[in-house]
Amino acid sequence: MTIPTSDRHRATRWVPSWIRSAGRIALSPRARSDALHEWRRRSRGEPELDAAAIRRVLVICHGNICRSPFAGRLLAARTPDLEVRSAGLEAVEGRPAEDAALRAALAFGVDLAGHSAHRMNAEDAAWADLILGMEGHHIAGVERAWPIGKGKTFSLGDFLERPPHRIDDPWGREDAFFQLTFDRIGRATDRLAERLRRGR
């Protein structure tokens, strides 16, 4: 017998949220990577960095139109002695920054006008001394596609003081969500920049 969709929807409302979350993790490789990274970050603490060896930083996200261009430009402003670029694992080359990202970035003094999305490639992975993703599956994706990224790829959210350390994608969301996301990126970037400056 087929259960009508409306009945199935009503039934799932009574399933505890932790069971629904566990179900998503079990079904999605990305969700598993994100959950594993969050667990590792909470158990191991903030990553160790050899700041003196870091000269080139690549900041990545999914499409390179929201999180990574903002984080990249903010980090470049905070650490002018570093060369900072941004890219997306699934970026469409040449796409401009999302309108909501433009508005949110300006509140932090960052101008994303003229940004052009770039899809990460093997040359980027080799070029960077440090690669910063936004979610656990970004790290897994880099290490799977470009083994040279292993050991130098972390999450920018790893440098947030408190969990969760994942920085969710604001694409398609309201401006308020962009503001909250960019505030978390700003706090993580400030702490990372201070770590890098102290290590010089």
The residues carrying an active-site annotation are 61, 67, 169
Q: Look at residue 198 and give its three-state secondary structure.
A: helix
Percent of the chain as helix, strand, coil, to the nearest 5: 50, 10, 40
Asked whether the CA dihedral 187, 188, 194, 197 is positive or negative, the reply is negative
Q: CA-CA distance, 169 to 45, in Å (whole number)?
A: 23
| Amino acid at site 9 | H
Cα–Cα–Cα angle for 129, 130, 133, nearest 5°? 150
> Which residues are within 8 A (CB) of 67 and not within 5 positions of it... i.e. 6 or more apart?
61, 101, 134, 167, 169, 170, 181, 185
Pick from 127, 129, 101: nearest CA to 115: 101
Q: Looking up tokens 């910063």, which residue turns up?
A: 132
